[in-house]
Chain A
Amino acid sequence: MNRLLTRRRFLIGATVTASTLGLSGCDAGSESELTKSVLRLAEGLTMKTQRLLLGDAALAREFGEADLSPVFRTNGTTMPDNARYIAWMNSQFSTWKLEIGGLVERPVQLSLDELKALPSRTQITRHDCVEGWSAIGKWTGVPLGMLLHAAGLKPEARYIVFHCADQYEQATDGAGWYYESIDLVDAFHPQTILAYALNNRALEVAHGAPLRLRVERQLGYKQAKYLARIEAVADLAQIYRGRGGFWEDRGYEWYAGI
């Protein structure tokens, strides 16, 4: 056996061994709480850096009509199958009301017509799914900040939680209901709206009818659909599994700016 062959064999062997060890190490690491908490450090660093560079008011890019996706892809729940939602749907959402409560001075309930009568904002923005795809759509809705000003946030309110009418997973602890949360910086951002129309048409069921959230500087899973109740809270730990959202409870970042 010549030298080159042994060296080559050694290298191949070493590489295969190292990569196998490395990979199984990564699986074990992915499941260890210590590794998870170390890896999570990156999220805080990303959020702090982006917020520092963004400021409170920097806008997400707005596009023109020519940039609209021919078909806006749907994702997640496309047809909630619970009785409450189906009843709303059958009434063309005339029986639906949006509740705004929690740590607010004046809890309110608003019908779809009442929401549509309020000043609106229309924006053509890009929706970026965590999976990697993007779609550009034209959203019309009520600025969330305006509603929160009207309801009057109590001083201890720090997050706005969005409770949705769809159950995305059957979970014994009730945490299968979709929900999301944002902090006050995003809640009062001018592009943060509760949208009732996509591309000049009433929001379709598959896109979250009658109302969905748009937080344009974050990923798709933050854009909660089928809104039923908005709650101002001081802390996210008491809600479902405590990480501030359906996907956040399943390992995804709460700050989805990346």
Chain B
Amino acid sequence: MTTTVDVRSKPGRIFIYRHTLPVRLSHWLNVICMSFLLLSGLQIFNAHPALYWGKYGADYDPAFISIETVEDGNQLRGLTHIGALTLDTSGVLGVSQVDGIPDERAFPAWLTIPSYRDLSTGRRWHFFFAWIFVINGLIYLASGLFSRHFRRDLLPSTEELGGRHLWSEIIDHARLRFPHGEGARRYNTLQKFAYLLVIFVLLPGMIATGLTMSPGFDAIAPWLVDMFGGRQSARTLHFLCAISLVIFVVVHVAMVLLSGFINNLRSMITGYYAIHPGDMK
């Protein structure tokens, strides 16, 4: 985010070099990995669509989130239980159409890899992309530390952490008012928070909770699964982390669209981001 390239294709517009090559490559690789991991993960979830808390959890133990299919007369209904709450989710969760026929499955065919029920193949996709995801993440972290990307671009300054400043950013976001001038040279503070949360909490959380579902890994590092409160807690946290990442991606893509889709997309492909230094913000 330091180099300024003075290409005045339009009056008042300059390009700044916003994203380095390692950031751009790891971003898009991550898009691919996370898509495969999510959809194959839902295939794996479908093999036992219930989440527990603690060291053990199976059919006879209380689940706090579960998706079930029940027969109602000669018709199938999908029920999703969250704690004491039960929602009828027929059509999407619990029962959904496969080639026009209602099928008993937690997540629908269009959200799983493969689309049909096949746990072993889902696992193959999941672990293959998990490896790429981990390697990509390690390279990204090493390069971010080495190039001072985290400290320079993501760590909020003391001034940015002030209550008044944060409040004004919240108001700006609520009004969908985004900076295009000098203010656009840096990430805003809310953006920094979101990225820090994803990079240092949610993504490592996915890996750690995923690893602790492995009986082999638990023999290597039993303290990690204990930290999560047991294997079934880790499985639940894995799912909740995944949901949090889906919510992040929805908000992230919405912000990309609202704050200048072409400019944002260009900068994540070529590295160059246009700003208008003449603008007040």
Give me the interface of A with B, judged by CB distance under 8 Å.
Answer: 7, 11, 19, 22-24, 26-27, 30, 36, 38-43, 45-46, 50, 53-54, 58-61, 63, 67, 69-71, 73, 126, 128-136, 216-219, 247, 250-253, 257-258
Contact = CB atoms under 8 A, between A and B. Distances in A.
A24 B115 CA distance: 8
A216 B44 CA distance: 22
A133 B58 contact: yes
A61 B61 CA distance: 21
A216 B219 CA distance: 9
A252 B119 CA distance: 8
B127 A43 contact: yes
Contact of A26 (B52, B55, B113, B218): B113
Contact of B222 (A22, A61, A73): A61
A108 B233 CA distance: 44
Interface of B: 35, 39, 44-45, 47-48, 50, 52, 55-61, 110, 113-116, 118-121, 123-125, 127-128, 130-131, 213-220, 222, 225, 231-232, 235, 257, 261
Contact of A39 (B48, B57, B61, B125): B125
A50 B217 contact: yes
Task: Point out which of A67, A128, A218, A252 has the most chain B C-beta atoms below 10 A from its C-beta.
Answer: A128
Find the residue from A19, A45, A128, A258 having the highest chain B CB count within 10 A. A258
A209 B44 CA distance: 30
A217 B222 CA distance: 12
A69 B58 contact: yes
Contacts of B57: 133-134
B113 A257 contact: no
Contacts of B44: 132
A67 B55 contact: yes
Nearest to B59: A73
B58 A258 contact: no
Contacts of B50: 133
Contact of B214 (A247, A252, A257): A257
Contacts of A252: 120, 123
A134 B115 contact: no
A214 to B, nearest CB: 12
A132 B113 CA distance: 17
